Chain A
Amino acid sequence: MDYLLLQMLNGVQLGLLMFLLAAGLTLTFGIMDLVNLAHGSLYMMGAYFAWTLIGWTDSFVLGALLALPATFLLGIVVEAVVARRLYARDHLDQVLATFGLILFFNELVRVLWGAAGKSIAVPAFLNRTVEILPGVPYPAYRFAIIVVGGAVALLLAWLVARTRIGMLIRAGASNRRMIGALGVNIELLFTLVFGLGAVFAGLAGLMAAPITSVKIGMGDDILILAFVIIVIGGIGSIKGAFVAAMVVGQIDIVGRAFLPDLLKTFLSTSAASSAAPAISQILVYIVMAAVLVWRPTGLFGQRA
């Protein structure tokens, strides 16, 4: 029972990380109509920035806090140099150009940081366990991810629902031409939203770094999962992205935690351990297919 609880918490933690990534994607698509494959590169760059800055400042928190504005700046540069020219293009051009950006960033990292992966150590003050329930210890760092991720999700919900910029974001998602005509500086809004998405992606990347590792292409596989999440949730819907991220997180973790034992009952140990992660990934895609057969625009998507 405790084991199940811990694994479900791991699922929440993974889900929150993927939500941070998916939120930026769904915003850029909902508002700027941009398919940004390079969003995963911002996730990777966030982690690499954090690695360097933590090295310089010798402090995890300081390095991580500095990496966020760095990712924001990078996002703004990407927006100004490439993304801005793509908003009015069709999806195929966007896929092609941002695919090119992925290749560029992966290679750039190889030039600047080398091909070998880096690791970020869990900060000392979080390198322990917390008792989430009496007698149930849980790694403090993972718990911190849940707290930070949850707080950012709430912040985003507040930002979109309660602030002036959120109002503009929602207005932009439903009719961008109209809010431009109403005198809103839409270029600035687009740049800000893109930068915001970059910060969330960078935050997810640097928080994931101590658990996984900082390596080239780390954003690519998780980006595809993030796309699956926004497709399940309904493109443009933050609420949908959150619900779908939680579902996908649970499927992934529960699959990894429980499938090997289940499979071992009728497969060899090595076959089971290689098949289990694959099957949990496959389950995610099957859920997506099922949702789309049921609702072709996702759970919370607007009807076409």
Chain B
Amino acid sequence: MTGWLAFLRTPRGLATALLLLALAALPLLTQAFDQRYLLSIGTRIVIWAIAAVSLNMILGYGGMVSFGHAVFFGIGGYAVGILAHHGITNGWIQWPVGIVAAATWAALVGALSLRTRGLYFIMITLAFAQLVYYVGVGLEAYGADDGLNISRSRFSGLINLRDKASFYWLCLALLCATLWFSGRFANSRFGLVVRGAKSNELRMMALGFPVFRYRLAAFTIAGAFGGLSGILLANEGAYISPAMMSWVKSGDLIVIVVLGGMGTLFGPLFGTIAFFALEESLPPLLDLARKGWGEYWQIVFGPLLVLIALYAKGGIDSLFGRSSDERGHG
């Protein structure tokens, strides 16, 4: 408990606490100012943050550059969508199926791809994600390219997901749970082995750790959380389509994690907010500069990514200085 209080006194801790408070109050604020659109962006930010936190577990802490993480959006989403399409709308069935399906796929992909290194790993994770993407495209019965409108999961009597504010708070609670897990993971013996293997794989192996198995376990867990975010995403729009798992989305997730700060606990959350803020604010800003330019905002966003890759080591999180976490173990 004292650890938390000490954390709150640091600029990073204070900023994070205020941010989480603001996120918790968002539905009330958007209602007060009658800005429903903002709540829908907020919901997507929270859902994407869950996916980003899960990618950070393997990419940030583990150094595994997975270029296919959006596939778990698709697997979680399609699990919900396909079951709903066949009349099974009970969330108590849908959600575990989605998470188990995502974890199973992650275990399978991890078992094959973690045998490789470097560019091979990047490309194999991308290729497996494309494989699932094309399965989605080929599924005529579930809308193929066009996707499928679905009804939202039902948790009868407990929570109504059609209510925007309740759904938002549920997503936020799940994000907090994911962050809590990620923090525990990073400082557990298990997490330290994964992080150690990032900085020196050979040394970890010489110490007797079966690095492959640790990495596979981390990859599978990250897949499970990714699946959870997919389930939420499908419920957010009441819609699934292969576009959920296009490779550009996987690229976006990498951007978010790097932008926020790799291998930091709250970095993925900062990164998601910054990413969506840029996406929402660049078009109107460019329109201010000259009418009609807003449409072409990616012409600014693309070079911005180049600059981030070249010069922004450490991401947003590093603006608060080195974290106690890094000092402790780095």
Residues of chain A at the chain B interface (Cβ within 8 Å)? 29, 35, 82, 85-86, 89, 91-97, 99-108, 110-111, 220, 224, 227-228, 231, 235, 268, 270-271, 274-279, 281-282, 285-286, 288-289, 292-293, 296-298, 304
Contact = CB atoms under 8 A, between A and B. Distances in A.
Given A228-B127, A271-B141, A282 B134 contact: yes
20 contacts: A92-B59, A92-B254, A99-B254, A100-B304, A101-B306, A103-B298, A103-B301, A104-B302, A104-B306, A106-B298, A110-B296, A231-B127, A268-B140, A274-B137, A275-B139, A276-B138, A277-B137, A278-B137, A281-B130, A297-B120
Given A85-B310, A224-B127, 12 more contacts: A89-B309, A92-B254, A95-B251, A96-B308, A103-B298, A107-B302, A227-B127, A278-B135, A285-B128, A285-B131, A292-B124, A297-B120
B6 interface: no
Interface string B294-313: 00111101111110111000
Interface of B: 59, 65, 67, 112-113, 115-120, 122-124, 126-128, 130-131, 134-135, 137-141, 144-145, 247, 251, 254-255, 258, 262, 296-299, 301-306, 308-310
7 closest A-B pairs by CB: A278-B138, A100-B305, A104-B302, A103-B302, A97-B309, A96-B309, A285-B131
B306 A91 contact: no
Dominant secondary structure of chain B at its interface with chain A: helix
A224 B305 contact: no
A99 B124 contact: no
B260 to A, nearest CB: 13
> What is the predominant secondary structure among interface residues of chain A facing chain B?
helix
B75 to A, nearest CB: 15
B65 A91 contact: yes
B106 to A, nearest CB: 15
A100 B302 contact: yes
Nearest to B131: A285
Given A274-B140, A281-B134, A288-B124, A96 B305 contact: yes
A293 B115 CA distance: 8
A99 B298 CA distance: 12
Contacts of B304: 100
Given A99-B255, A292-B112, A296-B120, A224 B302 contact: no
Given A275-B140, A289-B124, A292-B116, A99 B251 contact: yes
Contacts of B131: 281-282, 285-286
B272 to A, nearest CB: 16
A293 B113 CA distance: 9
Nearest to B65: A92
Contact of B140 (A95, A111, A271, A289): A271
A292 B303 CA distance: 34
Contacts of B255: 96, 99
A262 to B, nearest CB: 14
A289 B118 CA distance: 16
- Identify the interface centre among B59, B126, B262: most chain A CB within 10 Å of its CB: B126
A99 B302 CA distance: 8
Contact of A292 (B115, B138, B145, B309): B115
A272 to B, nearest CB: 9
